[in-house]
Each structure stands twice: as structure tokens, then as C-alpha cells.
Amino acid sequence: VQLQAFGGGLVQAGGSLRLSCAASGRTFRTYNMGWFRQAPGKEREFVAAVGWGVGSTLYSDSVKGRFTISRDNAKNTVYLQMNSLKPEDTAIYYCVANSMRVTTRPEYDYWGQGTQVTVSS
């Protein structure tokens, strides 16, 4: 599975962005998908994930209520809608996938190249 994330950019605090991650392969619908992020000088952090089955979702406390993860199996794409953005959301966002389980741990087999999100105050 190859993952390509895009949609990052510069936005003012309080604004919105939507990240997209396009996945290759015919078995996309059987993969759990997620997003991690890493800010300069900080450890990689779980953001959100969506399961392949009933589409159950999982969010970090820091983004719950502001971000929404979704997937379109027909387009082999997973999305991260980010609203009410804060300067602390500034990071490189990575799209991830695995076939085992939805988890907040970085136990994902496939990682995209990352897309930069910068939120100005």
C-alpha cells in the first residue's frame, strides 16, 4: 500500500483545512486508516483513526470535537477535516494504514510522506 497525503497549508487560528490521503491498491477497504502528526522538537503523536469494517473512529483528546476522520472506499481516500485550528496543531501530518487493528500506538505498517500544516496565531 502506498499512501500520498496532501491538503496541508498555512491557515489562521480558528480556520479549517481538509487533509486527504490517497492510497494505492485494491484492498484499501480492508485497511484501518489513520493520521499522526509531529511538531518540531516533539514526539510523533496520534491524531485520529478509522476502522475498515463499520468505520469506527478513534480520536486523541487534543482534537476530539474539532477534527473528523472519514473514508471513501470507492475513491481509496481517507480524509481529515480539521476545524477550529489552533497554533498547537502546527505539525507535519502523516497518513498511516494497517490491516490489524485501530490503535493510538504507531503500530501501522504503512506511512505516507507527510503534509505540513501551519496555524498562525
User: Cell 507535519, residue?
Assistant: 92
Cα 1 to Cα 21, 47, 72, distances in angstroms: 12, 20, 16
User: Cβ contacts of residue 56 below 8 Å, gap of 6+?
Assistant: 50, 102
User: In this model, does residue 114 exceed pLDDT 80?
Assistant: yes
The per-residue pLDDT of the chain, averaged, comes to: 95
Does 26 score more than 80 pLDDT? no
pLDDT (0 to 100) of residue 55: 78
Condensed to tens digits (0 to 9), the pLDDT of residues 33-91 reads 999 999 999 999 999 999 987 779 999 999 999 999 999 999 999 999 999 999 999 99
At 102 the pLDDT is 92
